[in-house]
């Protein structure tokens, strides 16, 4: 969509949701990172299950919870310190 194109409310919502879907995994990890209790539980899970397993499980849960579809793109520079990269979704 171009800036000079007038969008209807459905199109505005679709664009906003598309933007969120591409960064939703980062947002979930930011919630964990910024919540003292969740961060404690995250670190305990990492201790027991391992970092890769925990992060992959959280990413899969995000995808399954919102019924998202992978796009052929990864974010390699997330703002969250808990992950080095994450899958983007449609």
Q: Which residues pair with 86 in a beta bridge?
A: 75
Q: Do 38 and 32 form a contact (C-beta atoms < 8 A)?
A: yes
- Contact by Cβ (8 Å): 29, 58: yes
Q: What is the pLDDT of residues 40-52, one digit of tens each?
A: 999 999 999 999 9
- Give pLDDT tens digits for 13-56: 999 998 998 899 999 999 999 999 999 999 999 999 999 999 99
**Domain assignments of the chain as residue spans, ordered by start:** 30-89
User: Residue 26, Cβ neighbours under 10 Å: how many?
Assistant: 21
What pLDDT sits at residue 48?
98
Q: Nearest CA to 58 among 72, 71, 43?
A: 43
Could you report how far apart the first and last alpha carbons of the chain are, in Å?
Answer: 16
């Amino acid at each position: 969509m171009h800036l000079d194109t007038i969008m209807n409310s459905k199109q505005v919502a679709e664009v906003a949701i598309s933007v969120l879907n591409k960064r939703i995994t980062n947002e979930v990890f930011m919630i964990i990172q910024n919540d003292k209790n969740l961060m404690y539980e995250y670190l305990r899970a990492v201790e027991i299950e391992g970092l890769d397993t925990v992060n992959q499980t959280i990413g899969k849960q995000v995808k399954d919870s919102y019924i998202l579809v992978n796009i052929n793109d990864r974010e390699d520079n997330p703002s969250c310190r808990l992950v080095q990269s994450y899958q983007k979704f449609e």
